[in-house]
Structure 1
Amino acid sequence: MLCIQHLPSEISRQSASTLELPTGLIPTLVTASVLAFALAWLSSVGGVGGGVLTLIAFTALFGLQVALPTLTLTQLAGNGGRVWFNRRAVQWRLVKWYALGAIPFALAGGLLLPYVPVEPLKRVLGAFLIVTVFWRRFRPARAVPADKTFAAIGAGCGLASALFGAAGPLAAPFFLAKGIIGSAYIGTEAAASLIVHLTKIVAYGAGSLLSVHVLQLGLALTPAIVAGAWLGKATVARMNARAFVLVIEAGMLVAAILLLAGI
């Protein structure tokens, strides 16, 4: 696991009453914006993996305690953009069921974050993703999950997202099994994730993890995130169904390897 780093001294000395970014943070912010744009594009194309990679990048730049709530704020922008750009294809009936389980478990996970050892759970999640990909490859006759099943899926994803920062790969196999691909997949997964991130914001705020510095970073990175989501929408429009599924599964495997490695 990447070690927790302290914020630059310029930030730590900054008064909580101002939203002005210190000059010394600008190079780091430019780097974060470039990475955020690229990974938002990746999330918009593949639907999975981008959040995990963004968490790694933000942790290296800002430290874990700042990276988690900052990632949540940027994911609000990214997922909001993906929902808007794919709004006509969103499967809202599944989103409603997903929200039923996701909201209480994301709230619980956000409140438990300072007290739960997440390393063993990350490896379990990584192993689950690898098994799921191989199951999809070698058991093509898969059962189609009922709509109501997405309440339980939302519960697991909401808890995992609050603890690990991103849980898109966990929901991916269920959306694919439902036959949702392309713009419908990107928009529906983004709408479901948006609900989780809004809930996490409430939990992080209650747990005093939302500071002025975090709000600054989230606001500053939002334009890059939205631009990446827009470019991703244009890219998905040119992909065929087979290529799209392969990209999703590749993203699941990358996320699984990172989780198993404890990153």
Structure 2
Amino acid sequence: MLELLILFVAAFSAAAISGAAGFGGALLLLPLHVKTVGVTHAVPLLTIAQLIGNLSRAGFGFSQIHWKPVVLFLLGAIPLSILGALSFIQLPKDLVMRAIGAVILIFVALKYFDVLKLKGSSILLVMGGGVVGFLSGLVGSAGPLGAAIFLSIGLPPVAYIASEATTALVMHGVKTVVYQKYIVLDRELWFLAALMGSDDAGNVVGQASH
């Protein structure tokens, strides 16, 4: 019960950050998930929670979604997210844990040194989508990179959040199908993911009303 409360509070805090910036919440939650439910279930848990949270973001900004960059991004993201999810299933979990730690440190360093500034193009969207998809499938999230790619094409704030959330929604949906095929996801995990995802969705609703 205490673990559930901790995850719920952590999800609410991470959702507030993610809702304001459009990314970041998943990376904040990932180490806590690994410690609480183990690495095998941490990534699927995070994936389902993000699926729900990004559904709310995409829904509230649906009319402002820019579909061309979304489709270009998903051309690379969908097949590589499948490959990343399959790699997560097949690789030794201690290696996956090291990969998770490395990705978090890399993104923190990139953010700190303000390196994630990209020049928008169709090639960047397709290739960047592939990189984001693979990392998302392998370690659960690559939100800062996906956000940087969509920021590079100069979308207005709501359009940026909704468009990036739409790509994340599709990726997490694909990954959930793959994980569910190879990993036993019991009712408790689905309930916890739904609870955490509703935290995120609630934050989006609250921000939209202001």
- TM-score where L is the length of structure 2: 0.84
2:200 is aligned to 225
Alignment match, 2:114: 134
Higher relative helix content: 2
The 2-side partners of 1:95 and 1:120 are apart by: 27
Contact 2:100 2:139 in 1 (8 A): no
> 1:85, 1:228 → 2: CA distance?
12
2:102 to 123, 128, 138: 123
Match of 1:160 in 2: 135
- The yes-or-no answer on 1:70 pairing with 2:16 is no
Out of 51, 73, 97, the position equivalent to 2:26 is 51
Residue 230 of structure 1, CA deviation = 2.0
| Secondary structure at the counterpart of residue 134 of structure 1 | coil
* Distance across 2 between alignment mates of 1:115 and 1:97: 28
Deviation per CA, 1:183-213: give whole Å up to 9, x if none.
1221111111111100110110122242333
Superposed CA RMSD in Å reads 2.5
Query: Unaligned stretches of 5+ in structure 1?
Result: 1-24, 236-263
1:49-198 to 2 correspondence within 5 Å? 49-116=24-91, 117-118=95-96, 119=98, 123=102, 126-127=105-106, 130-131=109-110, 134-135=114-115, 143=119, 145-198=120-173
What stretches of structure 2 of length at least 5 have no aligned partner? none
| Residue 83 of structure 1: how far off its partner (Å) | 0.7
Percent pairwise identity: 29
Change (3 A) 1:105 1:91: same
State the distance in 2 between where 1:225 and 1:195 align. 17
Q: Which amino acid aligns with 1:158?
A: G
- Report the CA distance shift for 1:179/1:59 in structure 2 as closer, same or farther (over 3 A): same
Larger Rg over CA atoms:
1
Please state if 1:207 is matched with 2:182: yes
CA distance in 2, matches of 1:151, 1:122: 26
Tell whether the 8 Å contact from 1:36 to 1:224 is kept in structure 2 after alignment. Answer: yes
Task: Figure out how many residues of one structure are paired with residues of the other and give that number.
Answer: 205
Alpha-carbon distance change, 84 to 76 in structure 1, aligned in 2, over 3 angstroms: same
Superposition deviation, residue 131 in structure 1 = 4.7
Change (3 A) 1:232 1:61: farther
